Copies of this chain bind each other. A is one copy, B any other.
Amino acid sequence: MIYSRKVFFYETDAQGIVHHSNYPRYFEEARGYFLEKNGLPYEKVRDELKLDVVLLELIVKYKKFLKFGDIFYIKMYPKVLNKYFFKFEYILTNQNNNIICTGETKHCFVKKENKKMLSIPKEFLRIIEQNTIR
């Protein structure tokens, strides 16, 4: 599964490149796309299941940079860690197939009303497992 779009001008900074704080946002966009394509859009997680997904850890390793006008592509690799925790690994490339950065995010589910941690819901477990590369 690949998420892709063009860089917006407002995502650049005075170094002439995409500001580093946008990559965690690109990863979030990719997770939203992943959920949607697997039939469980995040709106549904929030409004029907009354759950939130929380970010626990974020790692980004910057190799090269994106510039305005570039198109980026994100390949993502989900993985269940245990009953509570799951993670995504990301490889972000540009239109010339250069690796721009790699990343990793670790998450859990919480109840929306009180932010208490819950074990990963069945619907979501199934989606992750279907998309895990062994």
Binding site for B on A (CB under 8 A): 6, 8-10, 12-17, 19-22, 24-25, 28-29, 32, 41-43, 46-47, 52, 54-62, 67-69
Contacts and interface: CB of A to CB of B under 8 A. Distances in A.
Residue among A19, A46, A55 facing the most chain B CB atoms (10 A cut-off):
A19
Given A42-B68, A43-B68, A55 B20 contact: yes
Contact of A28 (B9, B24, B52): B9
B62 A56 contact: yes
Contact of A13 (B14, B47, B57, B60): B14
Number of copies: 4
A68 B10 contact: no
Chain A interface secondary structure, helix, strand, loop or mixed? mixed
Contact of A8 (B32, B41, B61): B32
B8 A25 contact: yes
Nearest to A19: B10
Contacts of A21: 10, 21-22, 24-25, 28
B24 A46 contact: no
A9 B14 contact: yes
A74 to B, nearest CB: 14
A114 B21 CA distance: 22
A96 B90 CA distance: 34
